[in-house]
Structures are given as C-alpha cells and as structure tokens.
A and B are shown apart, each in its own frame.
Chain A
Amino acid sequence: MQLLSRAMQYVVVAFMSALFLYPLYILFLISFSPIQYTLGSLRPLQWPEGFTLQNLVLALQGTNLIDPMLRSLLTASLVGAIALLLGIPAAYGLSRLTSTLANTISTLLFFVNMIPALVIAIPVSVSFIDLHLYNTVVGLALAQGLIALPFSIFLLLGAFQSLPKDLENQARVDGAGMLQTLYTLLVPLSKSAVAAAFLISWMLSWDEFTFATILSPITPTLPFVIYTNIYRGNILASSALSLVLTLPVIILTVMLQRYLRGEYLSGGLHG
C-alpha cells in the first residue's frame, strides 16, 4: 500500500513536470529544429529531429535585435535601481513604524499593486507626451517601477525584520543616525536580499508587456518587438527573440528560487 502510493506520487510528479516543461521544450524545438519538422509541417514532430542554428541566423539577420535588447537591458536596470532607491528606505521605515501606520501603508501598497496597468498606462501616456517621456527608457522605467516596488519593499522588509534588533539598537546607542544605521549596517548585512530585490525587479521589467506596449511602442523593448513579429507572421524571428528573452530569465529564476516565496509574492497580504 505504502509502496503503491509512493509509486503513484512519482507518476504524478513526472506528469506535472512534463506538463510544465512542455511549452519551454516546444520553444527550443522550434528554435533549433529544421523548419520542415516544425513550422513547415501540419503535424509538427514532438521530438527533436536534426539540429540547426540556421533558424536563429536567418531570423536575426532580418530583425533589429540589438536596439530593443539594449533598451530592455537599460529599462530593466533602471527599474531595479528605482526598486532599491525607493524600496530600501521604505522597507526600513515600515519596520520602524507603529503597526497601525505600517499596516495602513502596506494596504496602500497592496491597492497600488491591484490597479490594472492599462488603467494607469493610458493617462500616463498622455501626460508623458507633454513631458517628453513618451517612447523613452526613463519614462517606461518609471511606470514599470510600480510593479516592482511593492514586491521589493516586502522582500526587503522580511530581510530587515529577520536581523537581530539588538544589533541595530547598539548602533543607534553608539550615535549612528537612522540613515547611517540603514546603509552601513542593515543593507550590508542583507546584501543577498538586496541583490534579489534588484534582480527580481529587473526580471519583472524585462518581461513586462502592457506598459511597454502603451508607453514605448515606437522605440520598443523586446516583448513588444516579439508581439509585432508574431503579428506580422515572422514566426522564426519571434521564436529567436523569445529565446533571447527567456534564457536569462530561466537562469535568474533558478538562482533566485529561495526568494520566490508565497509571502513576498502575495504583495503584503498575510495568511
């Protein structure tokens, strides 16, 4: 009985793993198999047959990859910077506030997270035109920062709260100001959480579609270029660009796995 249920468990694990890996597998198949086995066929093959770099070469010759990629990189790094610049002091401030105030602010952050990107993006695009921020990296980063900030605050708050309180009090007694305590003591002690907050914010921007579509369609980032290529029927280019977009994200997700916890992802709601 015990043995049977163990066997069952592995069957379910294997099935679920296959289900979750399948779409990624298809992306690799389309990217690296000769086209007659994939897009060129009514019944594309489920397994790899032959291996070619021809698709990628062909796809990337016809598309401007470099500009959107640089723009994506720059935007994502700016979003990471915004998330830390505003997030570190905010998280520390929250940890020092009375619980009523801290809860009010957490609720505010949660509600901000809740507002649909489209609701925000359309009026912002109108004012960005006046401010000369429409179709700029800075403008897009300022909007995407909204998605990253609450996440970054809750991740950092968790990290600061896990440090022993005595350490901080000792520094304060020794005459260090609040900012000094924060930046010379707490931040260095939580550097892996700070790095995680930066990288996850980076990733959220790298993947982001809605703000990018509304706020920077003429000088687009990678996700919007993928969309226009799908729209025009350039499947090979779309698959090559998708691969470029996905590879760093796979590495980051595996690296940052231990920070991707339910409590941070739930944007300040507690169980």
Chain B
Amino acid sequence: MRNLRLRWKESYSPILLVSPAIVYIFFFSIYPTLTAIFESFQTPLSSNTLSNYQGLIFFHLTNAIENTLIVSFGALAFQFFLAFIIAGLLAREFRGRRVFLTIVILPWGVATIVAAFVFSNIFPVSPPFGGYMNSFLALFGLPPVNWYSGYNSRVLVLILSDSWKNTPIVALILASGMTGISQEIYNAAALDGAGPIRRFLFVTLPNLRNFILIALVIRGISEFNIFAIPLVLVEYNPPFLTTLAYEFYSSTSSIYYSYAASTVLLAIVLVFTLVALKLRRTA
C-alpha cells in the first residue's frame, strides 16, 4: 500500500511542480490569444463577421502584410549574412576571441527602443541629409542621402536598424552549431581541393541545417513582430501589421480592427513556424 502511494507520488508530483507555470501560461497567454482571435470576428453590432478584415483592407492591410514580410525576410537575410561571418570567426581560436565574443553579444542586451533611438540619429528624419551616416559618407567624399525620401531607402534603414540588435542571437546559435563540426571534415575537404566557398556550401551548411532552422524560427518569429523600430523611425508609413494594430488600439477608433490585424500577424507567425519546423523534422 505504502509502495503504491509512493509510486503515485513519484509519477504525479512532477506534474504538480510544472502545473503553476502551465496555469499561468494558460491565463496570460493562451486565453488572451483565443480572445483576440474570437473578437476579431465580432463588431459592436454583429457577430461572426468578416467585416473587421474587410474594413482593414481599406486601411492598407495588404500593404502592411507585404511590408512586414519584406522587412522581415530582408532583415533575416542580412542578419544571417553577418552571423555566418561572426560564427565562422568564433569557431577558430585566436588571441582576443573572448573580447570579440563580448563585443558581439553586447547589442543583444540593449533595449530595442534604445537601438531605435540611436539609429534615429544615424539616419535622422530631420534634418534631411543630416545625421551620422551622412557625416560618415562625407568623410569619403560621398554625397549625402535623404533616407526617408522613398520606400526602398526607408525599408533599408529599418533592416539595418533592426539587424544591429538581433544579429548576436543568430551568431550565437550558429556558433554553437559550428563547434559540433569536426575540424577533420574541413581538412579532408581541403585535401580534396575544395576552396573556402565550396567548403562553406558543402560542409558547413548541411552540417548546420538544424541550427540554421532554429535560428530562422527564433528570429523569424520576432522579426514579424517588429514594432518599436518602425514606430520610432517611420511611424505609420509604410505600415506594418504591428503598427497598424497599435494605431487602431491607441486611437480607440475600433479595437476590433486591432484584433483583426494582430490575428493576421499570429497566422503569419504560425504558418512560418510550422513550415520551418517541418523542414527540420525531415532533416
């Protein structure tokens, strides 16, 4: 009898230990999420309607989806480019490696709003043609640029500003994958006459596949949530899903539009994650 009770305790008490966290997550994450999805199909006058979504299309929903995807994938590409270089360096032993690691990690800790503030001085809205990037270009005799004159340069500014803070996490994940690839494979590939580019393509990339996908999921998810950076640098033009939701929330014109915009955001995040995880499983 005592034995049985002990066994009961053994198998159930771990669940009891985990349950406060689960209850908390249910109340503060899952329940509100379901509420947001449900409410996105309501209006003060009718229920189970698509009218919020239809209304949002009038307020540039498709545009906001496009911009969210363009900046997200642009930023991901740029961050992975930098992160591969950094992780490649960190995989080697050299004097000053630890200092380099510290420098590279630093931006991770800096608040997004601070990154947004600093980059609003590097690429200022006013004065046009001013700011630190233009004064840097001037050192090389290059002409100044008005960063907010067109769509493309606005997107570029957002991608650059976002990438500073977020490259470190990609680099750290890739670096932890690279330490797992043995030097012997590289040596063997080099003996077979593979140059650095081919070694990267045929040794590094396939061996890092899962780490790349993990970093892609982690960063991709937060990339779609890009909020403070556009809010500070370009306000609502071009619009993003987050800034669209916030605009309707803060102007109180219709909170239901915010629910609809954030539900679209959630759907994009979900689809992206499921696709990436699927790729990982088949690896």
Interface residues, chain A, with chain B CB atoms under 8 Å away: 6, 9-10, 12-13, 16-17, 19-21, 23-24, 26-27, 30, 39, 41-46, 82, 85-87, 89-90, 92-94, 96-97, 101, 105, 108-109, 112-120, 122-124, 126-127, 142-143, 145-146, 149, 153, 178-179, 182, 203, 206-210, 213-214, 223, 226-227, 230, 235, 238-239, 242, 245-246, 249-250, 252-254, 257, 260-263, 265-267, 269-271
Apart from A20-B103, A23-B164, A120-B33, list 14 A-B contacts with CB within 8 A.
A16-B86, A85-B20, A89-B17, A115-B29, A116-B262, A118-B242, A118-B265, A119-B32, A119-B266, A210-B242, A226-B111, A242-B118, A269-B214, A270-B214
Chain A residues contacting B32 (CB-CB under 8 Å) are 119-120, 123-124, 127
Interface residues, chain B, with chain A CB atoms under 8 Å away: 9, 13-18, 20-22, 24-25, 28-30, 32-33, 35-36, 39, 82, 85-86, 89, 92, 94, 96, 100-122, 127, 129-132, 134-136, 138-139, 164, 167-169, 172-177, 180, 210-211, 214-215, 217-218, 221, 224-225, 227-228, 231-232, 242, 245-246, 249, 255, 258-259, 262-263, 265-266, 269-270, 273
Chain A residues contacting B136 (CB-CB under 8 Å) are 46
Minimum CB–CB distance from B89 to chain A (whole Å) comes to 6
Asked if A207 and B109 sit within 8 Å, CB to CB, the answer is: yes
Minimum CB–CB distance from B88 to chain A (whole Å) comes to 9
Chain A at the B interface: SS class: helix
Asked if B114 and A242 sit within 8 Å, CB to CB, the answer is: yes
Chain A residues contacting B127 (CB-CB under 8 Å) are 42
Minimum CB–CB distance from A72 to chain B (whole Å) comes to 10
In whole angstroms, what is the CA distance A112 to B101 when docked?
30
Of A39, A93, A146, A269, the residue contacting B217 (CB under 8 A) is A269
Count: A-B pairs, CB below 8 Å? 279
Of A17, A120, A238, the residue contacting B100 (CB under 8 A) is A17
Asked if B112 and A209 sit within 8 Å, CB to CB, the answer is: yes
Nearest CB to that of B273 among chain A residues?
Answer: A114
